[in-house]
Amino acid sequence: MRSLLAISPELPDVRALLDRVRAVLRAHGEIVAELPADSTPVPDALNFERLVAVGGDGTLIAQVRRILKRGVPLIGLNSGRLGFLAEFDLASLESQAVQIFGPTPLIRHRMVMDVEVQRANGSTVHSGIAVNDAVVSAGIPFRMIELRMEFGQDTGPDIAGDGVIIASPIGSTAYNVSAGGPIVHPDVEALIVTPICAHSLAFRPIVLPSHMEVTVHVERANEGTNLAIDGQIHIRLHPGDTIRVSRHEMMARLIGNPAVTYGHQLISKMRWAAPPNYRDRGA
């Protein structure tokens, strides 16, 4: 098995893991290259069958965008703080290596999004992939901004407030859930639209079918208003700009840990539905 190793060396625990990670990969094949886990394009001539991303969830998300069109499965080895998407630690990588690097690993197919930004003159200033979310935020000087939305061919709401989040199902547990949006199981293909501090008591998040394109027209903006893609790519926005978000034609392929379920991750990592500390339960 030919593996590419993508590393986030700035994370404090990564260097301590690397020798053992290399040993696992070499025991089951060949390391074709080691690259920083950034967004630099992977050389076309580099042939690999697995990408092992060593870092946190942000590292894995960046690598999904980086190699999505190659269709190569990714393994997320968590050395960050949460590890919600990166399902493996060093112990589980070692214990599950035969399956991970074998011919039939558990692959979780996850929907990602296309994001396009057009200026008022019709020029396209960004076209790329979002794994978690595309977030329009007010920015400095933090006055309310005004947005007009369309859902496919249907009229959407107008928003006056701090912005809007358009999330994928795997991104539903990120900024979206912090802003009051719903948790959506990642096997569901949908787009989740959640306002950020809307100047309305009636604006509620909505879950849309994945075939709909979400269009956001910027009617009023601040000097610092921007679009953040996965919290990693930032595009300055101006009045008259249009953002279009739609389902990408390809699915991300993440190699899953058979010992981990989505419910387990929600409860153990996100503390989903954690009860109060009752005295009669030893708290």
What's the CATH fold of domain 112-249? Tumour Suppressor Smad4 (2.60.200)
Q: Token digits for 260?
A: 């981990």
Which burial class, exposed, middle or buried, applies to 140 when counting CB atoms under 10 A from its CB (0-12, 13-18, 19+)? exposed
**Residue-level pLDDT, tens digit, the chain, 283 residues:** 999 999 987 766 777 789 899 999 999 999 999 999 999 999 999 999 999 999 889 999 999 999 999 999 999 999 867 678 999 999 999 999 999 999 999 999 999 999 999 999 999 999 999 999 999 999 999 999 999 999 999 999 999 999 999 999 999 999 999 999 999 999 999 999 999 999 999 999 999 999 999 999 999 999 999 999 999 999 999 999 999 999 999 999 999 999 999 998 999 888 888 888 887 765 5
Q: Of residues 19, 57, 114, 158, which has the active-site annotation?
A: 57
Decide whether 2-106+256-270 matches 112-249 in CATH topology.
no
Domain boundaries in the chain? 2-106+256-270, 112-249
- Tell me which CATH code domain 2-106+256-270 carries: 3.40.50.10330
> What is residue 27's predicted lDDT score, i.e. its pLDDT?
96
Residue 158 is among the residues annotated as catalytic for this protein: no
pTM of the predicted model as reported, rounded to 2 decimal places: 0.92
